[in-house]
Amino acid sequence: MTFVATDVSIRFGGVHAVDRLSLSVSPGEILGLIGPNGAGKTTFINCISGASRVDTGSATWDGEQLVGRAPHEIIRRGVVRTFQNVSSLHDLTVLDIVKLGEAAGRSSRGLLERFWSSERDRENGLTETVLRPLRLADIANQPLQTLSYGLRKAVDLARALAARPKLLLLDEPVAGLTSHESATMAEVIRSVRDRIGCAVIMVEHKMHVVNSTCDRIVVMASGAKIFEGSSQEAQKDPEVRRVYLGEA
Protein backbone atom coordinates (compact mmCIF):
# COMPACT_ATOMS: atom_id res chain seq x y z
CA MET A 1 0.00 0.00 0.00
CA THR A 2 1.87 3.04 -1.18
CA PHE A 3 1.04 6.50 -2.31
CA VAL A 4 2.46 7.31 -5.71
CA ALA A 5 2.15 10.71 -7.34
CA THR A 6 3.30 10.84 -10.93
CA ASP A 7 3.86 14.08 -12.84
CA VAL A 8 1.11 15.96 -11.03
CA SER A 9 0.68 19.37 -12.63
CA ILE A 10 -1.68 22.25 -12.23
CA ARG A 11 -1.56 25.65 -13.85
CA PHE A 12 -3.30 28.84 -12.87
CA GLY A 13 -3.21 31.01 -15.93
CA GLY A 14 0.40 31.05 -17.03
CA VAL A 15 1.83 29.97 -13.68
CA HIS A 16 2.78 26.37 -13.00
CA ALA A 17 1.67 26.11 -9.40
CA VAL A 18 2.71 22.46 -9.39
CA ASP A 19 5.01 21.33 -12.19
CA ARG A 20 5.23 17.60 -12.89
CA LEU A 21 5.76 16.60 -9.30
CA SER A 22 6.42 12.94 -8.60
CA LEU A 23 6.93 11.36 -5.23
CA SER A 24 5.95 8.33 -3.21
CA VAL A 25 5.38 7.46 0.43
CA SER A 26 5.04 4.11 2.17
CA PRO A 27 3.09 3.24 5.31
CA GLY A 28 5.02 4.11 8.47
CA GLU A 29 7.05 6.73 6.65
CA ILE A 30 6.94 10.47 7.34
CA LEU A 31 7.82 12.49 4.26
CA GLY A 32 8.54 16.16 4.72
CA LEU A 33 7.54 18.52 1.92
CA ILE A 34 9.43 21.78 2.25
CA GLY A 35 10.27 24.78 0.15
CA PRO A 36 10.08 28.55 0.13
CA ASN A 37 6.77 30.38 0.13
CA GLY A 38 4.83 29.97 -3.07
CA ALA A 39 6.61 26.76 -3.99
CA GLY A 40 3.33 24.95 -4.43
CA LYS A 41 3.37 22.70 -1.39
CA THR A 42 -0.13 23.43 -0.16
CA THR A 43 -1.40 23.44 -3.74
CA PHE A 44 -0.03 19.94 -4.11
CA ILE A 45 -1.85 18.85 -0.97
CA ASN A 46 -4.99 20.48 -2.34
CA CYS A 47 -4.58 18.48 -5.53
CA ILE A 48 -4.29 15.11 -3.93
CA SER A 49 -7.00 15.73 -1.36
CA GLY A 50 -9.50 16.72 -4.01
CA ALA A 51 -9.78 20.35 -2.99
CA SER A 52 -8.24 21.49 -6.24
CA ARG A 53 -8.39 20.18 -9.77
CA VAL A 54 -5.40 18.49 -11.37
CA ASP A 55 -4.47 19.32 -14.94
CA THR A 56 -2.26 16.35 -15.69
CA GLY A 57 -0.65 13.51 -13.81
CA SER A 58 -1.88 10.87 -11.46
CA ALA A 59 -1.96 10.23 -7.75
CA THR A 60 -2.71 6.74 -6.58
CA TRP A 61 -3.12 5.22 -3.17
CA ASP A 62 -2.86 1.47 -3.05
CA GLY A 63 -3.24 1.44 -6.80
CA GLU A 64 -6.52 3.40 -6.81
CA GLN A 65 -6.58 6.69 -8.67
CA LEU A 66 -7.37 9.71 -6.52
CA VAL A 67 -7.31 12.39 -9.21
CA GLY A 68 -10.77 13.49 -10.26
CA ARG A 69 -12.50 12.17 -7.18
CA ALA A 70 -14.54 14.28 -4.80
CA PRO A 71 -12.92 15.09 -1.42
CA HIS A 72 -15.29 12.89 0.56
CA GLU A 73 -14.53 9.91 -1.68
CA ILE A 74 -10.82 10.44 -1.17
CA ILE A 75 -11.24 10.57 2.59
CA ARG A 76 -13.24 7.40 2.49
CA ARG A 77 -10.23 5.71 0.90
CA GLY A 78 -8.11 6.70 3.86
CA VAL A 79 -6.36 9.81 2.55
CA VAL A 80 -7.07 12.56 5.08
CA ARG A 81 -5.67 16.05 5.40
CA THR A 82 -5.44 18.75 8.04
CA PHE A 83 -5.80 22.45 7.47
CA GLN A 84 -3.72 25.50 8.11
CA ASN A 85 -6.64 27.71 9.01
CA VAL A 86 -9.01 26.18 11.48
CA SER A 87 -12.16 28.20 11.58
CA SER A 88 -14.64 28.10 14.41
CA LEU A 89 -17.79 26.31 13.44
CA HIS A 90 -20.94 27.71 15.03
CA ASP A 91 -21.16 26.20 18.48
CA LEU A 92 -19.96 22.74 17.60
CA THR A 93 -17.88 21.15 20.31
CA VAL A 94 -14.61 19.31 20.03
CA LEU A 95 -16.43 16.01 20.22
CA ASP A 96 -18.84 17.09 17.47
CA ILE A 97 -15.97 17.88 15.13
CA VAL A 98 -14.26 14.59 15.89
CA LYS A 99 -17.48 12.68 15.30
CA LEU A 100 -17.79 14.38 11.93
CA GLY A 101 -14.27 13.33 11.13
CA GLU A 102 -15.06 9.76 12.01
CA ALA A 103 -18.22 9.79 9.91
CA ALA A 104 -16.26 11.06 6.94
CA GLY A 105 -13.89 8.13 7.07
CA ARG A 106 -16.61 5.60 7.35
CA SER A 107 -18.45 4.19 4.38
CA SER A 108 -22.17 4.85 4.43
CA ARG A 109 -24.25 3.63 7.31
CA GLY A 110 -27.82 2.52 6.97
CA LEU A 111 -30.63 4.97 7.58
CA LEU A 112 -31.78 3.37 10.83
CA GLU A 113 -28.28 3.09 12.16
CA ARG A 114 -27.90 6.76 11.50
CA PHE A 115 -30.74 7.64 13.80
CA TRP A 116 -30.57 4.98 16.47
CA SER A 117 -26.89 4.20 17.06
CA SER A 118 -25.66 4.60 20.59
CA GLU A 119 -23.96 7.94 20.79
CA ARG A 120 -22.54 7.14 24.19
CA ASP A 121 -20.49 4.14 22.97
CA ARG A 122 -19.25 6.07 20.00
CA GLU A 123 -18.20 9.01 22.14
CA ASN A 124 -16.30 6.79 24.53
CA GLY A 125 -14.55 5.04 21.69
CA LEU A 126 -13.47 8.27 20.07
CA THR A 127 -12.36 9.77 23.36
CA GLU A 128 -10.08 6.83 24.04
CA THR A 129 -8.63 6.39 20.59
CA VAL A 130 -8.32 9.98 19.45
CA LEU A 131 -8.83 12.58 22.18
CA ARG A 132 -6.82 11.10 25.00
CA PRO A 133 -3.61 10.58 22.97
CA LEU A 134 -3.81 14.23 21.92
CA ARG A 135 -4.62 15.33 25.47
CA LEU A 136 -7.96 16.78 24.41
CA ALA A 137 -10.18 14.54 26.51
CA ASP A 138 -10.74 17.19 29.18
CA ILE A 139 -12.13 19.74 26.75
CA ALA A 140 -14.22 17.32 24.71
CA ASN A 141 -17.41 19.24 25.33
CA GLN A 142 -16.10 22.75 24.85
CA PRO A 143 -17.18 24.66 21.76
CA LEU A 144 -14.45 25.11 19.22
CA GLN A 145 -14.97 28.86 19.32
CA THR A 146 -13.63 29.11 22.85
CA LEU A 147 -10.33 27.37 22.19
CA SER A 148 -6.96 28.85 21.39
CA TYR A 149 -5.45 28.50 17.95
CA GLY A 150 -3.06 25.81 19.09
CA LEU A 151 -5.85 23.74 20.58
CA ARG A 152 -7.96 24.15 17.47
CA LYS A 153 -5.15 22.77 15.37
CA ALA A 154 -4.95 19.83 17.73
CA VAL A 155 -8.69 19.30 17.31
CA ASP A 156 -8.26 19.43 13.54
CA LEU A 157 -5.63 16.73 13.82
CA ALA A 158 -7.99 14.74 16.02
CA ARG A 159 -10.67 15.10 13.38
CA ALA A 160 -8.30 13.77 10.77
CA LEU A 161 -7.26 10.86 12.98
CA ALA A 162 -10.85 9.93 13.73
CA ALA A 163 -11.26 9.17 10.04
CA ARG A 164 -8.75 6.31 10.45
CA PRO A 165 -6.29 7.62 7.88
CA LYS A 166 -3.89 5.39 6.03
CA LEU A 167 -2.22 8.44 4.49
CA LEU A 168 -2.16 11.58 6.55
CA LEU A 169 -1.57 14.90 4.82
CA LEU A 170 -0.46 17.52 7.32
CA ASP A 171 -0.57 21.09 6.08
CA GLU A 172 1.82 23.14 8.22
CA PRO A 173 0.88 21.45 11.49
CA VAL A 174 2.99 23.72 13.66
CA ALA A 175 2.36 27.06 11.98
CA GLY A 176 1.25 29.59 14.54
CA LEU A 177 2.20 27.42 17.50
CA THR A 178 4.67 28.34 20.24
CA SER A 179 7.90 26.38 20.39
CA HIS A 180 6.54 24.37 23.30
CA GLU A 181 3.35 23.54 21.40
CA SER A 182 5.40 22.72 18.28
CA ALA A 183 7.51 20.21 20.13
CA THR A 184 4.39 18.61 21.58
CA MET A 185 2.76 18.45 18.17
CA ALA A 186 5.89 16.89 16.65
CA GLU A 187 5.88 14.26 19.35
CA VAL A 188 2.18 13.62 18.76
CA ILE A 189 2.77 13.16 15.02
CA ARG A 190 5.52 10.64 15.67
CA SER A 191 3.44 8.72 18.17
CA VAL A 192 0.47 8.66 15.79
CA ARG A 193 2.66 7.21 13.07
CA ASP A 194 4.01 4.63 15.52
CA ARG A 195 0.58 3.72 16.80
CA ILE A 196 -1.44 3.39 13.62
CA GLY A 197 1.35 2.89 11.07
CA CYS A 198 0.00 5.37 8.57
CA ALA A 199 2.01 7.11 5.89
CA VAL A 200 2.46 10.83 6.43
CA ILE A 201 3.22 13.71 4.11
CA MET A 202 4.00 16.81 6.12
CA VAL A 203 4.22 20.28 4.64
CA GLU A 204 6.27 22.42 6.95
CA HIS A 205 8.57 25.42 7.25
CA LYS A 206 10.11 24.94 10.67
CA MET A 207 13.22 22.90 10.04
CA HIS A 208 13.70 21.65 13.57
CA VAL A 209 10.29 19.99 13.44
CA VAL A 210 11.07 18.56 10.00
CA ASN A 211 14.42 17.25 11.18
CA SER A 212 12.98 15.62 14.28
CA THR A 213 10.03 13.90 12.63
CA CYS A 214 10.68 13.26 8.93
CA ASP A 215 12.40 10.20 7.55
CA ARG A 216 12.85 11.75 4.14
CA ILE A 217 12.25 15.14 2.66
CA VAL A 218 11.31 16.54 -0.72
CA VAL A 219 12.21 20.14 -1.49
CA MET A 220 9.99 22.08 -3.86
CA ALA A 221 10.59 25.36 -5.62
CA SER A 222 8.39 27.09 -8.19
CA GLY A 223 6.15 24.06 -8.33
CA ALA A 224 8.83 21.51 -9.12
CA LYS A 225 10.78 19.02 -7.06
CA ILE A 226 14.42 20.07 -6.76
CA PHE A 227 15.68 17.60 -4.21
CA GLU A 228 14.75 14.35 -2.54
CA GLY A 229 16.69 12.66 0.19
CA SER A 230 17.61 13.06 3.83
CA SER A 231 17.56 16.34 5.65
CA GLN A 232 21.35 16.47 6.11
CA GLU A 233 21.93 15.90 2.39
CA ALA A 234 19.42 18.63 1.62
CA GLN A 235 21.37 21.18 3.61
CA LYS A 236 24.43 20.50 1.48
CA ASP A 237 22.67 20.43 -1.88
CA PRO A 238 23.63 23.50 -3.93
CA GLU A 239 20.24 23.89 -5.59
CA VAL A 240 18.47 23.84 -2.25
CA ARG A 241 20.84 26.41 -0.87
CA ARG A 242 20.32 28.64 -3.86
CA VAL A 243 16.56 28.49 -3.54
CA TYR A 244 16.56 29.28 0.17
CA LEU A 245 19.55 31.54 0.51
CA GLY A 246 19.98 33.08 -2.92
CA GLU A 247 23.04 32.95 -5.14
CA ALA A 248 26.08 32.18 -2.99
Partner 1 sequence: MLRHLSPTIFAVLFTLALLFVIPWLDRYATYLLISVAIAAIGALALNLLTGMCGLINFAQGALMGVGAYTAGNLGNAGWDILAVPAAGFVTAIASLVIGLPALRLRGLYFGVATLAAQFIVDYLFKILEPITHGVSGLPIRQLRVLGIVIQNDRMFATVCVLSLLLAWWAMYRVKNTDLGRSFLVVREGEIVAKGMGIDVAHTKIWAFLISGFFAGIAGALLGFNARLADPEAFTLGLSVDYLAMIIVGGLGSLTGPLLGSLFVTLLPEAIQRVAESFGIASLLSALREFTFGLLIIVFLIFEPRGLSALFRKLMFQRDARNRKKASYLNNSTQQPQGEETK
Summarize as ranges the residues that interact with partner 1 (CB under 8 A): 49-51, 70-72, 75-76, 80-81, 83, 87, 89-90, 92, 96, 99-101, 103-105, 114-115, 119, 134-136, 138-139, 148-151, 154, 159, 163, 176-178, 180-181, 184
Task: Report, in Å, the least distance between residue 209 CB and partner 1.
Answer: 14
Task: Report, in Å, the least distance between residue 134 CB and partner 1.
Answer: 8
Beta bridge partners of residue 79, listed in sequence order: 167
Cβ proximity to partner 1, 81 vs 225, nearer residue: 81
Cβ proximity to partner 1, 46 vs 213, nearer residue: 46
Output the DSSP codes for 120-154: HHHHHHHIIIIITTTT-GGGTTSBGGGS-HHHHHH
CA distances (Å), origin 31, targets 23, 111, 178, 243: 10, 39, 23, 20
Cβ proximity to partner 1, 99 vs 225, nearer residue: 99
Task: Report, in Å, the least distance between residue 90 CB and partner 1.
Answer: 5
DSSP state of 93: B
Q: Of the candidates 144, 153, 219, which has an alpha carbon nearest to the alpha carbon of residue 188?
A: 153
Cβ proximity to partner 1, 51 vs 224, nearer residue: 51
3-state secondary structure of 49: helix
